[in-house]
Every structure is written in C-alpha cells, then in structure tokens.
Amino acid sequence: MKLNHFTIWIVSCFLLFACDKTPQVSTNMSETFYLQNNGADMPVFVRGNGEPKVFILLLHGGPGDGALKYSNHTFSNLLEEQYAMVYWDQRHQGNSHGHLKNENITVDNMVEDTYALVKVLKERYGDDISLFLMGHSWGGLLGTSFMVKEDYQNEINGWIESGGAHDFPLMNQEIIKRFQEIAPVEIAAKNHAEEWNEVLEFVNSIDTSAISNEEITLLNEYAGKCENLITSLNDKSQSELSELKLIFLNADNPFTVINNEFFLPESFYLEIVSTSLTNDLHKITTPTLLCWGRYDFKVPYQLGQSALEKISTPDKFLKIYENAGHSSMRYEPQQFASDVIEFIELYKN
C-alpha cells in the first residue's frame, strides 16, 4: 500500500514558523518540517538553492547516524549552491522521535518512509521538481531497497549511491579479500606493520562460508581503523576535518545536532546483515551514479563494480576516487560534488 498506508501527515509547522506559511522555493532555502509515518516523527531539513527546482534527498548512513552530519561539509555546501539538499533523519535515528516497538523498525518501514517523503516533497514544492535520491553507506541499502520495490523508482530522476552497503554478505566477503590484498603490501612497506599483521591474522582465521555476527562487527571495526592507517588518506582526512563545522544551535536550525545513535533493536541488525540485493539490481532502470573510494574497507569498491554490471539502465556510471575511503564525499569533496552536478544536469527535468 502507498499513501493510504501512511497515516501520513506532514507536520509542516516548522517549530518556529507558522503552519499556514506556504512553502516557496528560493535561492536560499531554510525550511524544517516533520514527516509523520507509522508511529515515527522524523525531521526534514531543506537547505540550499531551490530555484532550479532540483532536490537531492539524502539517505544518511549508520544505521544510527543523523542527516545533519552531512551538512556544512565542503561537498554539501557546493551542492547547496546549485540545488536544494533534503536532510532527513530516518525513523529512530538522529533527531527523530516516536514511541516505536521493535517490529516498527524494519528496512521495509524505512522504505515506506522514504516513499512518503518523496510524495510530500512533490506536494510541497510541485510535482514538476526534479528529485534525486542519494544514499551513503547504510543509506545505500535503504535507497537500493526503495529502487527495487514496485514502481517507486519512477518517482525520482536519478539514484546516487556512495559506498552503499546494498549486499551485506557480499560486502563482508569483499572486506576480507580487500584486507588480504592490502595488508601484505602495507606490511612489506613497514607502514603500521603491527596493526596490519593483527588484521591479517584475524581475517585469515574467518570461515568465509559461515561468518559470525561477532566477526561481522569486528570486520567493521577493523575497516574503520585501517582506513586511518593509509597515510595518503589520513593526510586528506585531517585537512578536510579541520574545516568542518559542527552546528549546535543557531537561528536557522532549531535542533541540537549531536552525535547521537539510538539503540536499534537486534532484530533490525539481524535483518540488515542478512540482506542481499545484488540479484534485484537488474530491476533498476533509472539513471544511476555509483561513487566509491578506492580505500573503502567498510564497503569495498567491488560492490560498486558489481552494481554497475547488474543494474539494467544504460545510463549508469561508476566513479572510483583514488585517494578516498568510505566517505568519498569527505576525502575528495570538490570532485564528488562536480560528479554529482554533472550527473544531475544530464537527468533533471
């Protein structure tokens, strides 16, 4: 079911603004509203240049992150100069609210939330807007789930996946292979040899036909640590981090931005670690841009290569960023933004 499933209502009272204010696109948009759906109250932040009537709906990572972690970065500032960015906190994450039971926290419910928000954006800003979906990390699994469900992809102009975890079993296999490929090189070069030896010993001990949940957790932890061991990435990361602005309270944003990860139920984690959408990728017929870092150990770039092969649309592109890790938009923000803009200009209305 679609709209009748939603108990939807968009609470377009902006917390600090009057409910009867008609939303308007402008060159400097700063709107905040709530999306209510199936027990969840989820804030939506629309920022940037709405004049071209192009909106990028960001599906944040995690699960457990918040969308505003992606705002006020170089890449998002560049995109906001051109288009309107839609930062949305998914159910039970970020600054969202609601009294949810464990059974309310599922991938499918989050897909329905995404569909509801797509419809709301078109209702608010016009059915003629160009709408692009951008999913990073866990958001790649959520976005892919949206893309392969029924005719949902017909609601958007294009799909942008950045380091997306659309196949967890394949992802874990590729993480192990990537460590086995990189670790000996780094050890031979005497770059953090002790740490790389520890990683190599661990991955070589895994039975790849039956990877346990504990091993999956450790793989993710090692992936995050090892990204910081690559010297060229660490240098870029530090220079980029020095210019990030963490917003707490300001006149434009009534919310407190915190590094807050809600407790997500075990049933949800068990669902996502078993999710494999590779065999469904052929259903995607919408223009697609795939963005991956060469040194993404959390979601290796081989998932991007696999997606490129499986997706049906002829309008598909894979960008590999040679000096980037899991968040290519952070390591190479200018190039990332440029690639996104070039893609959008091809497929906007």
290-323 pLDDT, tens digit per residue, is 999 999 999 999 999 999 999 999 999 999 999 9
User: Are residues 111 and 198 located together in one domain of the fold?
Assistant: no
Confidence (pLDDT) at 264? 86
User: Are residues 68 and 188 located together in one domain of the fold?
Assistant: no
Confidence (pLDDT) at 2? 44
The token duo for 259 is 């590094």
User: Are residues 137 and 225 located together in one domain of the fold?
Assistant: no
pLDDT at 270 over 80: yes
pLDDT at 89 over 50: yes
CATH of the domain at 15: 3.40.50.1820
Bigger pLDDT: 233 vs 1? 233
Closest CA to 111 of 82, 80, 143: 143
Mean pLDDT of 8-24: 46
User: Are residues 156 and 275 located together in one domain of the fold?
Assistant: yes
Which residue range(s) make up the domain with 210? 170-239
User: Are residues 153 and 184 located together in one domain of the fold?
Assistant: no
Above pLDDT 70, what percent of the chain? 85
Number of domains, the chain: 2
Runs of H (alpha helix) within the chain: 74-82, 107-125, 138-147, 168-188, 193-204, 213-227, 231-241, 266-273, 302-310, 328-331, 333-347
Residue 348 near residue 130, CB atoms below 8 Å: yes
User: Are residues 216 and 201 located together in one domain of the fold?
Assistant: yes
pLDDT at 19 over 50: no
**Chain mean position to CA 264:** 17
User: Are residues 181 and 153 located together in one domain of the fold?
Assistant: no
User: Are residues 34 and 125 located together in one domain of the fold?
Assistant: yes
What are 195-247's pLDDT values in tens digits? 999 999 999 999 999 999 999 999 999 999 999 899 767 666 544 444 333 32
- Of 217, 239, 261, which residue constitutes the final position of a domain? 239
Residue 327 near residue 295, CB atoms below 8 Å: no
User: Are residues 182 and 149 located together in one domain of the fold?
Assistant: no
- Of 221, 239, 257, which residue constitutes the final position of a domain? 239
**0.85 exceeded by pTM:** yes
Three-state SS for 189? coil
User: Are residues 252 and 225 located together in one domain of the fold?
Assistant: no
User: Are residues 187 and 89 located together in one domain of the fold?
Assistant: no
User: Are residues 49 and 142 located together in one domain of the fold?
Assistant: yes
